[in-house]
Each structure stands twice: as C-alpha cells, then as structure tokens.
Amino acid sequence: MPPKALQDNLDVDYVIKYKIPSDDKEKASRQFQVLIRTLAEIHLETEVRAADDSSLFVFVKASDDQAFADVVYRSRIRDWLHGVCQIQPVKETVETLTQAPLSEAERLRIIYDLMTCQDADGGANITPKHGDWKNVEAIFSLHNHTRNKDWLAEFSKKTFLTPEDLDHIRNAVGEKIAYYYAFLQSYFQFLMFPAAFGASVWVLLGNFSPVYMIGIGMWSVVFVEYWKRQEQELAVRWSVKNVGSIEFSRREFRPEKIHKDPLTGEEMGHFPIQKRLQRQLLQIPLAIISAIALGVVICTCFAIEIFISEVYSGPLKSVLVFAPTIILTVCVPTVSNFLTGYAEQLTFYENYETKGAHDKAMISKVFVINFITSYLAIFLTSFVYVPFASILVPYLDIFSLTVQPFAENEKQLQSPPPSQFNINPQRLPNQMFYFAVTAQIISFATETVVPILTRKGGHKIEAMRSGAAKRSGGSHPSISANDQPDEKEFLARVREEASLPEYDVTSDLREMCIQFGYLALFSVVWPLTPVSYFINNWVELRGDMFKLTIESRRPIPERADSIGPWLNSLEFLAWLGSITSAALVYMFRDGGFGPDGRPSKIKFGLLMLSVFLSEHTFLIFRQVVRHAISKLDSGNMRKERSERFMVRRKFLEDAGLGDAVKPLTSPTDSPLKTINSGVSAHANTTITRQSLEEDARKHSLHDSTDSSRFWNKQRGWQESEQVGLRLIDMMENQNDKKRK
C-alpha cells in the first residue's frame, strides 16, 4: 500500500514550476505577478509553494465549474467545425460538460490549451521557457500513482492488452501516446505470424529461404495496411477523426509579410511557398552530408575491423578487433546528434506555420539519419563485403597504420593474394543476430535500467551531500524544512516528479519503426529474428509503461489521429524490403554461402530480374490488399455512417422534405389506384379548380409569346392527359387502317 500522499493529488490539475534567477529577481517577480493574474483571469485557482532555492511551484486548479464548462463547450464546438464529431454540440448543463464523459486526459488537455494557446486560438498565451515566460520552467500534471501501479501489475500478467486497456491509457495520457501503445500492441500481435512461420522455416529450410522472403513480404504489406485501417478505427472509437486538421499556429513562425485577407478581414502572416520550397531543397545537401559523414565513420570502422580480423595476424588481435566497435559506439551517436542539431536548425529555417508541419518535417529528417546509422553497416556487409571482398580487401592495406604499433613484422600486415582470400561467411548472420538480440537487450538496458540506477545514485549523492552540509554547520537549510507538516509528503513527491525528464513518445515510435525495418529488410538472413522481436516487444511494452509512469513526468495529453509520418517510413521500409530481400535471397540461395567475395559468381542480369519481379509483385499485392481492406466494414465505421446519416436526415427534414414535396412519397401507387378504382381523374386532390384558375390568370399576363401559346394549348395536366389518350386512340385507328 503506497503512502497516502502518493494516492491523492489534492485535485491539483497542473503544477507550474517558476524559476527566480538570482541575477534578475525584480523582473522575475513582476512577471510572477502577471502569471498569477493571468491564471486568475482564465478562472483558474492558484496556490503557491516553494519548490527549491530558486523556484516556486504554482499549483493550478480549474475550480470554477461554470467557466470551465464554457471552455469545454467551446472546444467541442471547434471539434465539430473541424469534422471531429458529427453532431453539433448543444450547451448542456455544467455537470455533463465537466464530469462523466470528460476523461482525465481531455480535462488536462483543455486546461493546458487554455493556459498556453495563442489569443487567436482562445488561450492565455503562456509559453514555457519562451519570451516573456522564459522563467516558466515547466508545466506538468501529477501522476496517479495508484493507477500506474495497478497498470504495471496488470499488464505484466497478460500477453495482450485489450481494447479497454488502450482506452484507459487514452483516458489518462491522451491519444498521441495511446496511439503508440495501440501500434505496439498491434505490431506485437501481428509478430506472432512471422515468429511461428520464421521458426518453422528456420527448422525446415534454413536461412535465406525464398519461402520466408515471400512470407515476410506479404506479412509486412498486410501489417502496414491493417494498421492504417486500425488507425481509422481507433480515431472513430476515440472520437479524434480529423483531429490532425486542427492546426495550431507555431509561435516561432516568422512571417515575411502580413497581409489582410480580403474576405475575412483577418490579418494573416504569410511566408512565400516558393521560398520555403527552396529552403526545403537544402534537405538534399543535408541528406548527402549525413550520408557522407556517417558513411565515412561507419565505412572506416567497418574497414578497420575487417582488416584486423581478416588480414592482421599479429599479437593482441583478439583485443584490437573490438577497437573499431568502440570507436563506432562513441562516434556514431556524436555525429548523429550533431546532424540532428543541423536538421533541427534547417527545420526552423524552413519556417513552418503550424506545429504539425514542423514536426513532420523534423521527423522525416530524423528518419533519414536513423536509416543511415541503423542499416548502413549491414548494407555494407550484404552488398559490398560479401560480393566484393576479394577485390576490396587488398586495398585495406592503408589501414595497416592503425595496428602498426602492435605488429611485430611486416608480414602480419599483408593481405593474402585475392585467390587465397576467404571471406568470413558467418559475418552477415552474426551481424543480424546482433541487431535481433544483442542490440535489443542493450537498448532496453539503456532505456529502462540505467535511468533507475542513475536516479538511485543521484539520490545517494544528494543525501551524502546534505548530510555533509549539516555536519559542517548547517548554513544551507533545505527549503523543504519550511514545508507545513501536513503537506510535507505531498510536496516532496511533487519535487520528485518535477525532477524527472519529459516522456518522448517519438523516440519510442522511432525505435519500433527501425525494428520493423530490420525485419522487412534483412530478417531473411536469419528467420528467427521475428521470434526474438516478439519476445522483446512483450518486454518493450512493459518497459515503456514503466518509463512513462515511473521514470518520467506525467506527459501533457495531446490528441492525434495517427502515428504520423512514421507510417510513411513503415511503408517505405516494407517496399525497400521487397528489394533487399530478393537480392539477398538471390545471392545466398546456394546454401547460404553467397558469392564468397567474388563478384563473378553473381549473374547481374538475374539479380536485377529477381529484384524487379519481387518489387513489382510486392506493389501489385499491396494494391490488392489495400483494395480489400478499404472495402471491409466494421462496427465503428457503421456507427459513424449512421450518425452522419441521421444528421443529414434531420437537416433535410427541417429543409421541408415534409411539406413541399409531400405527395411524392408514393408517386407510382396512388394515381394508379385512383384510375383502377374508376374514380374520375378530375377528383385528384392536389390540383384544385382554384389552382387551375390561377394558372390561367398567370398565363394571360404574357399571352403573346410563342412559349405561352405553346404551353397554353393544354391547360393543366388533365387536358394533357386527354390529348395524349386521344393521340393514342388515333394510333390505334391508323394501325387498324394499315392492317386493312
């Protein structure tokens, strides 16, 4: 049973950590006053406490139910206008707007938007760490620790999360994060098929099996298309359809000129699209520089490693062979962080109007960098080392410099003649094993275990420090000493949570996307890969849950109707997989030994043909799957259609379907019946003598035109009918005459 303070958030909606820098105290305290008044103006209640030596906590609560209900109502209207919901919201009672159907995440999101959105979007424009509000260090809400513990306990017991579990996640932390868990869950479930299939293939057919290639290719298509559909289903289930179209303007957007919309009179910042397209062209040099920078690092380490392991024969070989890996582990993150920094600058320079567009542009750049760092090494092994090693290895002599200090004689540094050279056939499977198993374990450790240890270590150091300070005289009393006793525990917990890092769902998504890439691109090398990923992802989901609930601040709920640009990455990787898998299978088809470092063993035409066939089969299959999935119906879709139908029917009924055209409802029956029952046609009720007379009057007004003469030949439908019947009679007579 956790202590009481962990259970109860005392109705706090948000905690604002406000920094008072010692060098600019006056301005900071004036801005603090502005903060408190601004919050009061948007009807939020506040309490202030000390956070640490130089910051305050402002606790915020939406206590005015009426004011909050208005905000919720406005937010619902905006949703409806953007097509997020079908039915126009009505101003309900305060209770229905602020209580039951309003989830925790929605409440928190609306309050956060109220505090931080721009004036135009109806917010108070508080911008943490930015502009006037640079002293607002953080805005965060408090974890619900009881529920978090329940989740961790429950999820560690079951294999699959239920849709309801995902709903709970969504209700607590918002749709954006819930989409990640839904994706991870779908991916994990789908992995069952290739895991079972891969294991059987591995037992029966071994590595590089064309059967496995076809299986994994089809699987990746079906999975990606299924997930696309699943996204839509979830969007309906969570009522976030079209949420992506609600655009929040970016504060950092620098318009080139302001112009006034002639229609709305709104002043709008404008940035010429041609200029942005030009700036976007800089992505090409960025991609090239990334490829070169990372390529040089990776290729060099790769070459050195090959040189040491396959050419060098001097002492310390078994130790030196790890040197390149160590260089790689240090250099690649450094270089890629550097490049990510540049990518970020470029994205800022591209100057997007909306947050969505900015994030999308950034993610696509991050994907390029990650693609290179993740797959280049194994690409090199597959498509350079294996086919061309015997030609290239002699040129590696230049790397002899790196081990010269250790060599005892020149001979140890000389490569064997190409004819005698043999490649290491285990290199590719080993590398794949690394990415399938070892790398996953390392990543899990750095993501989940290391932060715990660091934090525990940090606490210990702090405890030691404060102990030392006390012993040395106590001139540095802890700020928490002034806390009132009934709040002590609670404030300690808030301080603890404030010190945690923010949760970044993008990096988790990226990790899964890269994993999918290994599966689609290279798993044909080792068909047990999906088995390993299947096991890993069970742990991954629980680990991420742990990270989300224990190791991070509670995230601000955001909405989303998709996992975003990562979806395109998945599609791209599946496509590329159809090319690489076919090439790998073609090259290694003879028992998995491959071209043995000699390109002459590869029939280039056949290689290209197999790639061509595989790729186009993939594309046709994808088209078929897309078509089939787009036609499938589901309860959610039906519900949405019915709702839309009802809205339309209501409007059409209001628009007078009921009166003006009423007699239409059964046009074929009623006249027939009157005719058949022998009632005179003139007794028809809808056309009265009066209306006929009015017709006559109307016509007499402009009696002179050709048109009116034509239309007045037969007055009313009765006369038309008579004339028609007479004409039919005449036909009869004529035909009779003819027959005679």
Pick out residues in 61-90 that bind its own copies (CB under 8 A).
Answer: 61, 63, 67, 70-71, 73-74, 77-78, 81-82
Query: Binding of its own copies at residue 487 (CB under 8 A)?
Result: yes
When asked if residue 232 is in the footprint of its own copies (CB under 8 A), the reply is no
Phi-psi region of 473 (alpha: psi -120 to 50; beta: other; left: phi over 0): left
Which range in 373-381, 522-530, 589-597, 656-664 contacts its own copies by CB under 8 A? 656-664
Contacts of 496 (CB under 8 A, 6+ apart): none
- Compute, in degrees rounded to 10, the torsion defined by CA atoms 443, 493, 110, 92: 130
Residue 55 near residue 20, CB atoms below 8 Å = yes
Of 129 and 460, CB closest to its own copies: 129
- The interface region with its own copies, picked from 38-46, 446-454, 462-470, 584-592 by CB under 8 A, is 38-46
Contact 161, 186 (CB under 8 A): no
Nearest distance, CB of residue 585 and its own copies, angstroms: 17
CA gap 104, 310 in Å, rounded? 60
Taking CB under 8 A as the rule, does residue 573 contact its own copies? no
| Strand ranges inside 3-86, DSSP E | 14-19, 45-52, 55-61
With CB under 8 A as the contact rule, the residue among 125, 189, 249, 300 that binds its own copies is 125
328-359 residues labelled b (16+ CB within 10 A) or e (exposed): beebbeebbeebbebbeebbbebbbbebbbbb
Residues that bind its own copies (rule: CB under 8 A) add up to a total of 126
Compute the least distance from the CB of residue 26 to its own copies, in Å.
10
Query: CB of 467 within 8 A of CB of 109?
Result: no
Contact residue for its own copies among 196, 652, 679, 696 (CB under 8 A): 652
| 454, 600, 666, 700: residue in contact with its own copies (rule CB under 8 A) | 666
Using CB under 8 A as the binding rule, the residues of this chain from 491 to 550 that contact its own copies are none
Looking at 351-449, list the stretches that DSSP marks H as alpha helix, in order from N- to C-terminal side.
355-380, 386-392, 400-403, 427-433, 439-444
**Structural Rg of the chain based on CA atoms:** 36
**How many CA atoms lie less than 13 Å away from 361 in the CB half-sphere?**
24
**Is 450 among the residues that bind its own copies (CB under 8 A)?**
no
- Under the binding rule (CB under 8 A), the answer on residue 476 touching its own copies is yes
Helix (H, G, I), strand (E, B) or coil at 238: coil
274-293 residues in contact with its own copies (CB under 8 A) are 276-277, 280
Tell me the helices (H) and strands (E) count for the chain, helix number first.
29, 6
Positions in 605-624 near its own copies (CB under 8 A): 605, 607-609, 611-612
Among 24, 25, 247, 384, binds its own copies (CB under 8 A): 25
Q: Which of 398, 481, 683, 728 binds its own copies (CB under 8 A)?
A: 728
Q: Which of residues 625-644 bind its own copies (CB under 8 A)?
A: 627-628, 631-633, 638-639, 642-643
- For position 38 contacting its own copies by CB under 8 A, the verdict is yes
One of 10, 204, 453, 696 touching its own copies (CB under 8 A): 10
19 contributes a contact to its own copies by CB under 8 A: no
Helix, coil or strand: residue 58: strand
Residues 676 to 715 in contact with its own copies, rule: CB under 8 A: 681, 684, 686-687, 706-707, 709-711, 713-714
What single string gives the DSSP state of each residue in 152-206?
Answer: HHHHTT-SS--HHHHHHHHHHH-HHHHHHHHHHHHHHHHHHHHHHHHHHHHHHT-
Q: Which region, judged by CB under 8 A, interacts with its own copies, from 5-13, 324-332, 548-556, 581-589? A: 5-13
Q: Based on CB atoms, which residue is closest to its own copies, 153 or 273?
A: 273
Asked if 409 touches its own copies (CB under 8 A), the answer is no
